[in-house]
Structure 1
Amino acid sequence: MMFKISSLLALLSLVYAAPQIKVGKTTLVGRDITGLKQDFFGGIPFAEPPLGNLRLKPPVLKPHLDVETFDASNFGKGCLQAGNVPMAFSEDCLTINVFRPSGLKSNAKLPVLFWTYGGGFDAGMSSLYNGSTIVAQSVARGTPLIYVNFNYRLGPLGFPQGQEADNRGALNLALKDQIAALEWVQKNICEFGGDKKKVTVFGESAGAIMTAVLFLNSPIEKLARAAIFESGSAATALEFKAARREVDWQNFVAGVPSCASLSLSGNTFDCLKRANSTEVHSGVINALTKAPEAFGFDPTIDGPDGLFPDIASRLLKRGHFARLPFIAGTNLDEGTIFTATTNLSSADIRASIIESYSPPLVDPAVLQQSADKLLQLYPDDPAVGSPFNTGTQTFGLPSSFKRGAALMGDLSFQSQRRSWIQTASRAGVKTFGYLFTQPQPNDNPAIGVSHSSEVLFVYGAPKDTSASAMHLSSIMIDYWVSFATSLDPNDGRGNARPHWAQYTPENEVLLQLNGDNTTLIPDDYRKKQIDFINSDPTVFHHRRSLRMP
């Protein structure tokens, strides 16, 4: 899902032609991507380094730098996370990057595509995403735009858990990083030739979830005019208060040597602010290694004045969400990569459902009855499981794997996308939906058209280089760019491509994205199952992965 840009930049750039931009009193010296006639400006701080007394606090916006010149020729380091290259990570990571067509004047007023990466809220970095193909195609089709991405804090530093974090108002810091980056765009993108009134936010997985959460109770309507959600809705994330994951915070603190003795004290922040970054990184790794579930650090409910004041379904029901146009879609087999390959008996799956949605927001008996109903609706029949459309093949796995994967995908992704787009369209919001079904011949066939498999197509670099895949990638970029520049994916420019009908209460249709058959389809797959999941959203206050025993 991710790929590096540094080698491409090195091959295509000419140092002597380095572009320059004045932002405030600072001259940013970028890099010329000569072969593509683009300018790159990277590693620009958009907030003060979140170190020392600023650790575990909301970001402090840094609209301008306090130096005369700044080397913006490369990306900054990623935020602290697990990985084999610790030198690639730093706490001083809140940086932003801009790709633009070369030679723009500051009054060009080009639309902006603003990307938030995924990675389970505990991994990822902006340097892994190369926006140059998107920008190049936008220019070639006569609708040039600017691409922006950024880094946000991850794991316990981005999504602190536990009652102490709640008491100190230190929740959802990564969401606040995202807002700060958007505020930086509002203040500065005009200097790059962008139009601050034409920002489209887009992201995948955790990035889409974060963006969707911002639709609930943030100033997003002042920061963007549209969005694209790839495989993620607000209700895809864990919807509990931070206290539920006390153990994750304790594991983090226990991994910070100078603070380990305080891990169970409920009074850890002061010590953590005094720790050095090496110690803190050890704590991050300890927390991720010992997390009792796949994703230990998600957005959390943060109260009436917070960014995530209540479970999403309640807010949507009340009409409490931003009225911005959007595209929302999913991939055919969202659940496969999150599904265990063992412990998949009916009893195991039932137990995992109950544990995952506990403590319940409904009577425990209702949750138990709902788990039983799900097992009826999703039988242990590989012919109807995920990866879908693969008949009775089991790929050497237990037949119940396909059952678990179908359940996982529908509970966490498909039902949420459908609920979100139906609610918004019924409120009069301009929406478009998709289902990505392009086969992935280079991947394990057991995962099918899996979660995140569309990302490389959006970035113009699918692993499959067949004519079908490359054509689909090109028209997907056209749809995305068209929407970002005109709020309609059907601007008639670029590749000839099927008309993408708006999703409305009278016409609930999706665009199937498939290189051999891109066409409109009704949004009614597994209707009985998904209708049941969405019939009482408080039962399934949704998780990204079921806990398997």
Structure 2
Amino acid sequence: MSTALSAHPSPEVEVGGTTFVGRKIPFEQEFFGGIPFAEPPVGILRFQPPIFKDTYDEDILDASQSGLPCLQFNSTLDQSSEDCLTLNILRPANLSANASLPVLFWVHGGGFDRGSSNEDNATTIVAHSVQRGTPIVYVSINYRLGPLGFPQGKEAKERKALNLALKDELAALKWVHKHIGKFGGDNQKVTAGGASAGAIMNAILLLDPGIEKFVRGGIFESGSAATPLTRHAAARQHNWDQFVGSVPTCAGLAGTNNTFDCLVDANVTDLLEGINASRELAEEDFPWDPTIDGLGGVYPDYPSVLFQIQHFARIPFITGTSLDEGTAFADPSTNYTNDVVRDNLFKNLSTPFLQRSERSKLDQSIQEMLELYPNDPSLGSPFGTGNETFGLSPGFKRMSAIYTDIPFLSQRRFWQQTMAGMPSSGVKSYGYLWKQGLNKQVFPPMFGVLHAADTHYFFNDSLVDTQALELGTFLRDYFLSFIDSLSPNDGKGTQRPHWNHYSRDNQVIMQMAAQNLTEVPDTFRKDQVDFINSLPDIFHH
């Protein structure tokens, strides 16, 4: 710590009789990190729902650094830990005891098997909030990852061990609701935000009206509840068996319905070996997704079913997708012939033990998809690049377009259209299409406007295109306005176009690109998206 900073006392906040000592950081801000919100999920608590924690043995706790990320794929025991259920708080310096600022509760992405609470630096966001006169408190959390956060299979269902990471997030929200006031936040003004997996987790929790106790608004970047291929736990039994078979001390139990006791007793070194090895063996890109957990669970049914019976929180939200979401998920080394694309769709959309009629419907749907997404590079993603194939298989752009629309565009549109079609629900939403790419020196043009590119502009990190910094400022102003007032149009900060909410009679979204920030009709690729959304059973929505 520099001499100048050492001259000022460290910020302190008391919770449950324990004093958390944070640290001052540049831009007139204060940071508190590594605050436990649940008991460490180790030993007999491994594969159990989180045990809420807000009393601590110590009189004083050092909260000057973030806690370690949760145990995860492609990490070491020096870089991650099972004892990871902690949160960070960033706030403007010198807040009064009754500041009651709006709160942004941020959930990181990472495909459900990697990431951490400290991967995004929110100092620019908090500084911008102060500058525009709408200061906020920022909270970020860790949650369990991979098979520790999203166990799969029959045994996990029987033991009620599904979706543990979602329950981790709920425990963190409970902690914030109970204690954020001590840090200058208002527990009645919490906006849940996230990108990719984080947005998906938040969107799933917003399917439960009970979340209204903890959250009043949502911001979703590149993710809706049904963005992953939503399945029941049994459908991913093979993933669980591969994990168990990769844990040296438990490998002999793979394929049985008696694996948990061994896994609970396994040492963390063996556990991490199983996480890494099974991830390499996985046939799916994302083997540890949230899963349907039935009545009384946190994800009781498919989003399309829950929307139909109006089982969702009445909370306003902002939701957006990037132009070329799918380029991050299509393999540039694959020669995507017509047969390869067909097989890829079948592998992702089929389920075990298909009946003959179900198989026929799936085959017909895949054929229709192949016709709606022809092998014509000028129609593929990255969109707007003509016949350019970037030296790759022409089918790469076709596959990328499909990967953009099935998980991302279709579900963003379906969500907003559903809310707009239920005006009595009172839910206002604001949609956008992010069309600004990242630093071209880092990301080659084959990626176009990459998945979650807008997140980098929101946090103003090193990957943004420096020629488009003003667009990042506009985005922060829209989001900060919403966090403060539940409208992106508070008139504070930069002058920017008015953003209309999405309605049945005015289905428009904000197109966000440097030098081209304007509203556009939400009708692009209408035939393709309408087809996908007409078959939620086929597309696991």
* Distance (whole Å) between structure 1 residues aligned to residue 110 and residue 84 of structure 2: 16
Superposed displacement of residue 462, structure 1: 5.0
Q: Structure 1: how far apart are the matches of 2:358 and 2:70? A: 40
Residue of 387, 392, 417 corresponding to 1:392:
387
Structure 1 stretch 354-363 or stretch 179-188: which is displaced more? 354-363
Contact 1:105 1:192 in 2 (8 A): no
1:23 Cα deviation from its structure 2 partner: 1.1
1:477 maps to: 476
CA distance in 1, matches of 2:59, 2:159: 37
CA apart distance, 1:532? 0.9
Counterparts of 1:3-22 in structure 2 under 5 Å? 14=6, 16-22=8-14
The aligned counterpart of 1:329 is: 320
Conserved? CA contact 1:13–1:31, under 8 Å? no
Q: Structure 2 regions of 5+ residues with no counterpart?
A: none
Cα 1:77–1:11 shift into 2, 3 Å = farther
Question: How far does residue 284 in structure 1 lie from its aligned partner after superposition?
Answer: 1.2
1:432 aligns with 430
Contact 1:120 1:295 in 2 (8 A): yes
Query: Which string of whole-angstrom CA distances, capped at 9 and with x for unpartnered residues, describes residues 328-387 of structure 1?
Result: 110000101101231411122112212211126972211111111111111111111100
Q: How far, CA to CA, are the matches of 1:383 and 1:465 in structure 2? A: 25
Secondary structure of 1:434's match?
Answer: strand
- For 1:194, the equivalent position in structure 2 comes to 185
Distance 1:103 1:324 in 2: 31
Please tell me whether residue 375 in structure 1 is matched to residue 370 in structure 2.
Answer: yes
The correspondence for 1:235, drawn from 219, 226, 229, is 226
Identify the residue that residue 466 of structure 2 maps to in structure 1. Answer: 466
Q: Which position in structure 2 is the counterpart of 1:499? A: 498
Return the match for 1:250 from 241, 256, 260.
241
Q: Deviations over 1:72-97 (max 9, x none)?
A: 00000000112255411000000000
Aligned mate of 1:275, from 266, 270, 279: 266
Q: Classify 1:274/1:195 alpha carbon distance in 2 versus 1 (closer, same or farther; 3 Å).
A: same
Counterparts of 2:363 and 2:39 in 1: how far apart (Å)? 48
Partner amino acid, structure 2, of 1:437: K
Change (3 A) 1:445 1:77: same
Number of aligned pairs?
Answer: 532
Contact 1:112 / 1:198 at 8 angstroms: preserved in 2? yes
- Which residue of 2 is the match for residue 30 of structure 1? 22
- Output the CA distance in 2 between the equivalents of 1:449 and 1:17: 44
- Counterpart pick for 1:310 among 298, 301, 306: 301
Whole-Å Cα distance in 1 between the matches of residues 159 and 418 of structure 2? 34
Q: Find the partner of 2:348 among 332, 356, 359.
A: 356
2:405 is equivalent to residue 414 of structure 1:
no
1:15 and 1:460 mapped to 2: Cα distance?
30
Give the corresponding residue for 1:5.
none
Which residue is 1:74 aligned to?
65
Q: Please say if residues 73 and 146 of structure 2, whose CA atoms lie closer than 8 Å, have aligned partners that are also in contact.
A: no
Partner of 2:161: 170
Hey, what's the Cα distance between the residues in 1 that align with 2:91 and 2:44?
36
- What one-letter code is carried by the residue in structure 1 that aligns with 2:471? L
| 1:501-536 deviation per Cα after TM superposition (whole angstroms, max 9, x unaligned) | 111111110101112111001101101111111112
Per the alignment, residue 36 of structure 2 pairs with 45
Paired amino acid for 1:380? N
In structure 2, C-alpha distance between the alignment counterparts of 1:451 and 1:460, rounded to whole Å: 16
- For 2:7 and 2:237, the matched residues in 1 are separated by 50
Q: Output the CA distance in 1 between the equivalents of 2:536 and 2:63.
A: 46
- Whether the 8 Å contact between 1:82 and 1:123 is mirrored in structure 2 is yes
* Root mean square deviation of aligned Cα: 1.6
TM-score, reference length from structure 2: 0.96
The SS at the match of 2:118 is helix
Q: Contact 1:238/1:299 (CA < 8 Å) preserved in 2?
A: no
CA distance in 1, matches of 2:2, 2:239: 41
* 1:345–1:142 Cα change, 3 Å: same
| 2:140 partner SS | strand
Distance 2:75 2:147 in 1: 19
Say whether residues 1:510 and 2:501 are aligned partners: no
CA apart distance, 1:12: 9.3
Instruction: Name the SS for the 1:335 alignment partner.
Output: helix
- 1:423 maps to 418
Shift of 1:163: 0.6
Residue 529 of structure 1 corresponds to: 528
Instruction: Give the secondary structure class of the aligned counterpart of 2:325.
Output: coil
The equivalent residue for 2:400 is: 405
Q: Tell me how far apart the structure 2 counterparts of residues 525 and 12 of structure 1 sit (CA, whole Å).
A: 55
> Structure 1 residues 246, 10: closer, same or farther in 2, change over 3 A?
farther
SS in 2 for 1:79: coil
Contact (CA 8 Å) 1:199, 1:224: kept in 2 or not?
Answer: yes
Do 1:218 and 1:307's aligned partners in 2 also have CA atoms closer than 8 Å? no
Give the aligned partner of residue 456 of structure 1: 456
Instruction: Rate the CA distance shift 1:510–1:15 in 2: closer, same or farther, 3 A.
Output: farther
TM-aligned CA deviation for residue 105 of structure 1: 2.0
Identity level (%):
50
Helix, strand or coil at the partner of 1:356? helix
Q: CA deviation at 1:274?
A: 1.4
Structure 1 counterpart SS, 2:276: helix
CA shift in 2, pair 1:10/1:492, >3 Å = farther
Most deviating of 164-173 and 289-298: 289-298
**CA separation of 1:12 and 1:285: change in aligned 2, threshold 3 A:** farther
Q: CA deviation at 1:219?
A: 2.5
Match for 2:206 among 211, 215, 226? 215
Residue 219 of structure 1 aligns to a residue whose secondary structure is helix
Say whether the 8 Å CA contact 2:335–2:395 is kept in structure 1: no
- Aligned residue type for 2:459: Y
Which residue does the alignment assign to 1:144?
Answer: 135
Change (3 A) 1:12 1:396: farther
Distance 1:403 1:17 in 2: 58
Check conservation: 1:253, 1:260, Cα contact below 8 A: yes
Return the offset for 1:240.
Answer: 1.1
Q: Which position in structure 2 is the counterpart of 1:546?
A: none
In the aligned structure 1, how far is the partner of 2:5 from the partner of 2:365? Answer: 58
Classify 1:283/1:85 alpha carbon distance in 2 versus 1 (closer, same or farther; 3 Å). Answer: closer
In the superposition, the TM-score normalised over structure 1's length comes to 0.94
Shift of 1:214: 0.6
Name the aligned partner's letter for residue 387 of structure 1. Answer: P
> Is 1:290 the equivalent of 2:288?
no
CA distance in 1, matches of 2:300, 2:7: 48
Quote the offset at 1:255 in angstroms. Answer: 2.3
- The residue type equivalent to 1:409 in the other structure is T
Structure 1: runs of 5+ lacking an equivalent: 1-8, 543-549
